[in-house]
Every structure is written in structure tokens, then in C-alpha cells.
Amino acid sequence: MNICVVGTGYVGLVVGTCMSDLGFEVTCADNDPDKIDALLQSRVPIYEPGLEPILRRNVREGRLRFTLDTAAAIAAADVVYIAVGTPGLEDGHADLSGVDAVSELIGRHMSRRIVAIIKSTVPVGTADRVREIIGRSARYEFDVVSNPEFLKEGAAVEDFTHPDRIVIGCRTAWARDVMNELYDPLVRTGRPILFMDNRSAELAKYASNAMLATKISFMNELSRLCERVGADIEMVRKGTGSDTRIGPRFLFAGAGYGGSCFPKDVRALVQTAKAYDLDLKIANAVEDVNFEQKVVLADKVLARLGPDLRGKKVALWGLAFKPETDDMREAPSLVIIDALLAAGAQVSAYDPEAMTVAQRILGDRITFATSAMEAAQDADALVLVTEWNEFRHPDLAELKGRMRGLRIFDGRNIYDPQRLREQGFEYQGIGRP
């Protein structure tokens, strides 16, 4: 079975690489010459643990190819994955222009019966839209399958090869047979393939991300209450997460969520509901709480050092929106940096993987250090934004010797407050007394 994956961004590259590793012939197509040039040299343009060696192996063994000629790749395919970006527009709707363009190419260039698989995150009703666009020029039978991805950045390869579930929306029995053949190697351990209609599959993706974002925002809001009443959000988290009906995951209070999925997907869900004259009050509140949470750390710094930070240096540990990625999309660090710079602070930052991306975004507005300790040199305050493992156990004696003011603002609650205070640091976390 020949597979074409259109789009070599985060999702498309993981899907194409992992499908080739299952033994399928895969061609990944994109219209970005720089990206394809890098991939032809087996250079992975994103940071994702474990992806590069799998890509290199399958390129070497001839199962994985990259091309700018999308039309030819579609013509040679039995299955076409649509994995292009669907960024959020200013009004919150998803931008489907890329999906539309690929659908048009499929209709014009398909040379046999095919299954078109929508892997991009798309609003309810997109499969119908894609089906109509392909059908305008299609000369062969086809079906459009909704197959949303549930990949966590930093663990995408593991999530793809060991999925919790595979959600598939389709109409025809033969498309269902194709999907079973594609994913049979991934469900031998008993994880389910859930077949349903297209619209339910599309909504399942948004519902999953909105539910996870809700858990995060709920705990972030509770963290503010904890600070008011003198409770510890970490103890509240343990007491709540031990309930098997709730579970411990995504209950960590912090500096707010970011990335390519949660923010735009919550907004898109809200906009979808509005199109059907519904107001999703919980989803709206989730977005509002998250926006407010991103400024909490900066507010703590300003409350402690004063509103005028001219002459003050603040060190930031972590720039990516989460560990094990270089993704800076909607990262809390960007909001924190803007607030600190607006108050006149000098900001020095370090991240193990996101420095290049951050430099493209921030330019010379801040100083980029070559290590965590260099960032902390002569700092009046240290703000922990991203919980990379290398930040969890710093040499406190060295840190104490480098900093000018021994104030630590822990945006992910990874430090032991008592230990830091015993070492002479002033500590503030999120939702901790």
C-alpha cells in the first residue's frame, strides 16, 4: 500500500515516519523547499525525541521519501493523509485554506480508488467539505476518513506507536477495511479502534483537548484560592487526583498552557458552538482563566520587586511551552517576558531546545544565555517557566553565588520550598503558602 502524507509539520512528519516504520511505502510532500531540502538530508526540522533515528533508518531502507511534487505523490498513492496546518484565525475559527488546497489536488490528481484521511485538527463538518471539494473533479471512487491525532509534543512517537485509542470516522466498509489494515500493528495489545461517523470523530478531538485544558485551568484557578486561604495546591492536587474518578493527570497548577493545540482548539470549539447558536460557558471560562494565569508569575515579580524594574535583572529558566519540545507557540514565557520588559527589566533566558526559535521571535529584546547558570548571573530574581529535567536539581550553592537577589519564582512547583528557604532563598510558587 502506497501512502502519501501531505504536510511535513509536526503531525505529518511523525505520521509519515512512523507509518514507514510499520513497513508501508510513504512519500511525504510539502510546498516548503527549505523543509524538504532538510528532510532529503535526513535533518529533522523539529525537536521531537526519538523521531530522527527512525526517520534516518527508513530513508536509508527506502521506505520513506520526501518531495515537493505533491501532485505526483498523490497520483501514486492508495492512501493520502491530509496533515497540513489549521492555525487559528483572529476570530477563533480554524483556517482551512490548506485543507481545501490539498483536497483540490487529491480530486485532480488521484489515479485510482483512494482513501483521503484527514489527520489535521479540523472543525465539525470538514469531512463533508473535503468530500465535496474532491468530488468536483474526482474520476475514481474515494472515501474521506476523519482520523484525528492525539499526539503529545515530546512523546509523539510513543503516542503514535502505543495509542490509547484510534478514532476513525468513515462511511464505507472498504475504507474501514483499509484503516484496519493500516493500524492493525498498533492495536495488537488490545487498544481499541473506535469507528464512528465523521462528525463524531471530528468533535472527539476537540472534546479531548478542551477537557484536558479544563482540568489545567480548573487547578490554576484553585491555586489562586489556595493563596488566599493559606492552602497548598500541591496537597489539594494529591487529595483530588487520588480519586479514581478524577485521576492525577493534568492536575498540576502552573503558569498556564500554550502550544499548538489547546489554545486554538478551545477557541475553535467555542466558534463551532456559536455557529449553531450555542454558548459553551465552560470552554469560554477555560480560555479566560488560562489568559489570566500566564501573567501570574510576572505579577508576583512586580509585587515583590516593585512596578519599576529598571536596573533589575530577571532570569528565565525555560522558554518552550512545555519540556521536550522547542515549540514556542502561545508559550507563557512570551507573556511573562512582555510584562517584565514593559516594567523596564533586563531579561536573560535559557532553554535547552527552544533558543533558536525564541531568538527568531524575540530578536534582541532579551539576552540569551548559553546555560541556566549564566542566565542567573547577577539576577535579582529567577523565574522558572518550563519544567525541564535539568532545572529540577540545580547546584544551589553555585546559584546562590551567582544571583544578586535570592528570589525564586517557581512557575511549575518543582522545588521544595523548605529546602530553598533553608539555603537562604526567598521562594514563591503557584498556589503555595
pLDDT in tens, 69-128: 999 999 999 999 999 999 888 888 889 999 999 999 999 999 999 999 999 999 999 999
Which one, of 54, 12, 5, lies nearest residue 260 by Cα? 12
Quick one: 354 and 407 in the same domain?
Answer: yes
Residue 433 lies in a domain: no
Q: Is there a domain that residue 405 lies in?
A: yes
The answer on 127 and 8 residing in a single domain is yes
Query: Do 121 and 144 share a domain, yes or no?
Result: yes
Identity of the residue numbered 185:
P
pLDDT reported for residue 47: 87
Question: How many CA atoms, within 13 angstroms, populate the side-chain half-sphere of residue 215?
Answer: 15
Share of the chain above pLDDT 70, in %: 100
Mean pLDDT of 354-378: 97
For residue 189, pLDDT over 90 is answered with no
For the segment 328-335, the average pLDDT, to the nearest whole number, is: 96
Do 164 and 45 reside in the same domain of the chain?
yes
Together in a domain, 99 and 28: yes
Whether 200 is covered by a domain: the verdict is no
- 69 plus 107 within the same structural domain: yes
Write out the DSSP string of 287-326.
Answer: HHHHHHHTTHHHHHHHHHH-S--TT-EEEEE--SSSTT--
Q: Order of strands across the sheet with 114-118?
A: 64-67, 25-29, 2-6, 79-82, 114-118, 142-146, 166-169, 193-196
When pLDDT is averaged across residues 421-427 and rounded to a whole number, the result is 96
List, for residues 393-420, the tens digit of each pLDDT value.
999 999 999 999 999 999 999 999 999 9
The question of whether 261 is a catalytic residue gets the answer yes
The confidence score (pLDDT) of residue 227 equals: 96
| Structural domains of the chain, count | 3
Q: What is the CATH number of the domain that holds 287?
A: 1.10.1040.10
Residue 188 has pLDDT above 90, yes or no: no
CA–CA distances in Å: residue 324 to residues 130, 290, 319, 352, 354: 34, 21, 11, 9, 10
Structural domain of 136 = 2-195
Does a structural domain hold residue 274? yes
Same domain for 342 and 282, yes or no, is: no
Please state, in angstroms and rounded to a whole number, the distance separating the CA atoms of residues 349 and 357: 13
Catalytic one of 4, 18, 226, 261: 261
| Residue 326 pLDDT greater than 90, yes or no | yes
Residue-wise pLDDT for 275-285, tens only, equals 999 999 999 99
The residues with which 427 forms a beta bridge, in sequence order, are: 408
3-state DSSP of 409-424: EECCCCCCHHHHHHCC
Q: Are residue 116 and residue 236 in the same domain, yes or no?
A: no
| Residue 284 shares a structural domain with residue 300 | no
Q: Domain for residue 190, yes or no?
A: yes
- Hey, what's the cell of 331? 508559550
Annotate 122-134 with b (16+ C-beta within 10 A) or e (fewer): bbbebbebbbebb
Domain membership of residue 305 (yes or no) is: yes
Instruction: Give the model confidence (pLDDT) of 332-353 as tens digits.
Output: 999 999 999 999 999 999 999 9
Q: What mean pLDDT do residues 211-224 have?
A: 97
Q: 142-186: per-residue pLDDT in tens? A: 999 999 999 998 899 999 999 999 999 999 999 999 999 999 999
Q: Are residues 143 and 102 in the same domain?
A: yes
The per-residue pLDDT for 407 is 98
Of the residues 238, 262, 292, the one at which a domain ends: 292
Clarify whether residues 191 and 209 are in a common domain: no
Distance (Å, rounded) from C-alpha 140 to C-alpha 408? 63
Residues 47 and 164 in one domain: yes
Rounded-to-integer distance, Cα 167 and Cα 156, Å = 16
d(CA 186, CA 177): 15
Contact of 138 with 152, CB cutoff 8 Å: no
Name the burial class of residue 90, with classes exposed (0-12), middle (13-18) and buried (19+) by CB atoms within 10 angstroms of its CB: exposed
pLDDT of residue 262: 92
Q: Is residue 234 part of a domain?
A: yes
CATH code at 376? Answer: 3.40.50.720
Select from 263, 292, 321 the last residue of a domain: 292
Last residue of a domain, one of 292, 322, 337: 292
As a whole number of angstroms, the distance between CA 348 and CA 251 comes to: 30
Residue 169: phi and psi, rounded to 5, are -110, 125
pLDDT over threshold 80, residue 25: yes
Q: Supply the pTM of this predicted model.
A: 0.90
Per the domain annotation, does 262 fall within a domain?
yes
